[in-house]
C-alpha cells in the first residue's frame, strides 16, 4: 500500500500532493492553466437549454420505477436476494470501478477484477467508464465553479440530476477538453466498453437481470424486468446524492473553504462515497476516508481484493498529511486522528 507522506512544514509539496486528482496527469498544473485561461476569456452569455429528450427519458424511467414498485409484494425470496446483490454489484461498478480505480487511479487491479468492474459499471448504467471518468475529473478540477458539470452552486436539484437534463455550460465543455484522458484512451478494456456502451448497458442492465431469474427459478419475466428498472433508478439516485447532498449537508473537518462535506447517510447508502470533504481534500486516497470500514463497504472490498492479489498499489494519505491539512484549513477536532488521541 503506497502511503504518501508529507511533512507539515513542507508547504509547497503538501499543496502539490493534496491537489493531485489521483489520475495520470499533473492536476496542479492543469488547474492553474485552466484558471489562467478562464481569466483571459470573457465568459459567453449563457441561457439554460433544456434537453427535452432527456427529460422525457427520466419521466418515463421514473414512471416505470413507481409502477414496478407494485410488483414488490409478489416477488419471490430469490428475487429479493437477487435484486439486493445486483444493486450492490452495480454500486461497486461506480464506487470501486469508475470512481476509485479509473477516474482517480487510487489503486491498480488485475484483469479479472477489471473485467468484473467493467461488467458492474455497465450494470449501473451511468455512462461509459471513459465518459464518467472524464466528467468526474472535470468536476474535481472545477469543483463548484462554472466548469463543474454538476456545479452545486446552481442548486440542489441541478447537482442531483438537473445537470443531465440541460446542455452543458460552455465552461464545462471547455474544462472537459483540458482534462488529460490518455491513460484511459490507452486502456483497451475501457475503450472497448466505451465503443459498445449502449449494447453492454442494455445487455448487463436489463436483459441479463430479466432473463436470469426466469431461467434459474422461474421468476415472472414482468417482475424481473421491472425490478431491473427499480434497481437502476435506486442506483442512479444514490450516486446522485454524492453530487447533491454531500455538497449541501454535513461537516468539513479537512477543508472548510470548499463545498463538499462529510455526510454519513450518503456514505451508508453509497458504500463509502459520502466522506466527500475528505475525498476532495485527498482525492488520491483509495479509501476516501480516515474512518476505516465505517460506512465504507467499498474500501472493505478493495482490501479483500488486495488480500488475494487482485488489487494492488493502494494509495493513501499519511496521518501526518491529514493532520497538517486539517490544522491548516479544516476543523481538526472533527477528524478521526484527533478523536483517537483524545481517548
Q: What is the pLDDT of residue 85?
A: 98
Q: Give the pLDDT score at 48.
A: 85
Q: Are strands 2-4 and 315-317 parallel, antiparallel or unpaired?
A: parallel
Residue 136 phi, psi dihedral angles, 5° rounding: -70, -40
pLDDT in tens, 195-239: 999 999 999 999 999 999 999 999 999 999 999 999 999 999 999
Cell 427459478, residue located: 217
pTM passes above 0.75: yes
DSSP string for 1-12: -EEE---TT-HH
Report the distance separating Cα 335 and Cα 339, nearest Å: 6
Q: In the chain, pLDDT over 70 holds for what percent of residues?
A: 86
pLDDT digits (tens, 9 = 90+) for 85-139: 999 999 999 999 999 999 999 999 999 999 999 999 999 999 999 999 999 999 9
What lies within 8 Å, CB to CB, of 126 at 6+ separation is 94, 98, 132, 235, 236, 239
Strand-strand pairing, 108-109 and 2-4:
unpaired
Stretch 262-274: mean pLDDT: 97
Q: Which pLDDT belongs to residue 159?
A: 98
Beta strands, E only, the chain: 2-4, 108-109, 311-312, 315-317
The confidence score (pLDDT) of residue 259 equals 96
Q: Tell me: the pLDDT tens digits for 129-147?
A: 999 999 999 999 999 999 9
**pLDDT of 280 strictly over 70:** yes
Cell numbers 454531500: residue: 246
Q: Is pLDDT above 50 for 179? A: yes
pLDDT at 71 over 50: yes
Amino acid at each position: 500500500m503506497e502511503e504518501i507522506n508529507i511533512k507539515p512544514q513542507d508547504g509547497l509539496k503538501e499543496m502539490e500532493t493534496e491537489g493531485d486528482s489521483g489520475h495520470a496527469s499533473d492536476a496542479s498544473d492543469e488547474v492553474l492553466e485552466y484558471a489562467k485561461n478562464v481569466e483571459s476569456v470573457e465568459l459567453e452569455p449563457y441561457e439554460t437549454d433544456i434537453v427535452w429528450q432527456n427529460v422525457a427519458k427520466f419521466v418515463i424511467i421514473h414512471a416505470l420505477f413507481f409502477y414496478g414498485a407494485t410488483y414488490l409484494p409478489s416477488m419471490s425470496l430469490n428475487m429479493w436476494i437477487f435484486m439486493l446483490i445486483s444493486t450492490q454489484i452495480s454500486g461497486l461498478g461506480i464506487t470501486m470501478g469508475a470512481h476509485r480505480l479509473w477516474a482517480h487511479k487510487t489503486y491498480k487491479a488485475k484483469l479479472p477484477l477489471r473485467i468484473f468492474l467493467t461488467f458492474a459499471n455497465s450494470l449501473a448504467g451511468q455512462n461509459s467508464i471513459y465518459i464518467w471518468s472524464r466528467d468526474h475529473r472535470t468536476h474535481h478540477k472545477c469543483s463548484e465553479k462554472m466548469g463543474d458539470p454538476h456545479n452545486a452552486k446552481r442548486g440542489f436539484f441541478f447537482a442531483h440530476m438537473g445537470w443531465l437534463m440541460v446542455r452543458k455550460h460552455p465552461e464545462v465543455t471547455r474544462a472537459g477538453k483540458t482534462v488529460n484522458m490518455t491513460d484511459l484512451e490507452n486502456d483497451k478494456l475501457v475503450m472497448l466498453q466505451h465503443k459498445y456502451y449502449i449494447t453492454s448497458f442494455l445487455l448487463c442492465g436489463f436483459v441479463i437481470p430479466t432473463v436470469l431469474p426466469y431461467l434459474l427459478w422461474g421468476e415472472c419475466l414482468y417482475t424481473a424486468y421491472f425490478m431491473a428498472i427499480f434497481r437502476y433508478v435506486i442506483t442512479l439516485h444514490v450516486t446522485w446524492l454524492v453530487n447533491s447532498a454531500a455538497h449541501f449537508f454535513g461537516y468539513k473537518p479537512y477543508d472548510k473553504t470548499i463545498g463538499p462535506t462529510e455526510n454519513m447517510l450518503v456514505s451508508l447508502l453509497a458504500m463509502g462515497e459520502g466522506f466527500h470533504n475528505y475525498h476532495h481534500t485527498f482525492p488520491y486516497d483509495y479509501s476516501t476516508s480516515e474512518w476505516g470500514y465505517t460506512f465504507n463497504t467499498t474500501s472493505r472490498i478493495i482490501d479483500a481484493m488486495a488480500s488475494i492479489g487482485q488489487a494492488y498499489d493502494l494509495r493513501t494519505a499519511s496521518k501526518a498529511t491529514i493532520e497538517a491539512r486539517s490544522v491548516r484549513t479544516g476543523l481538526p477536532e472533527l477528524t478521526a486522528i484527533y478523536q483517537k488521541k483524545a481517548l
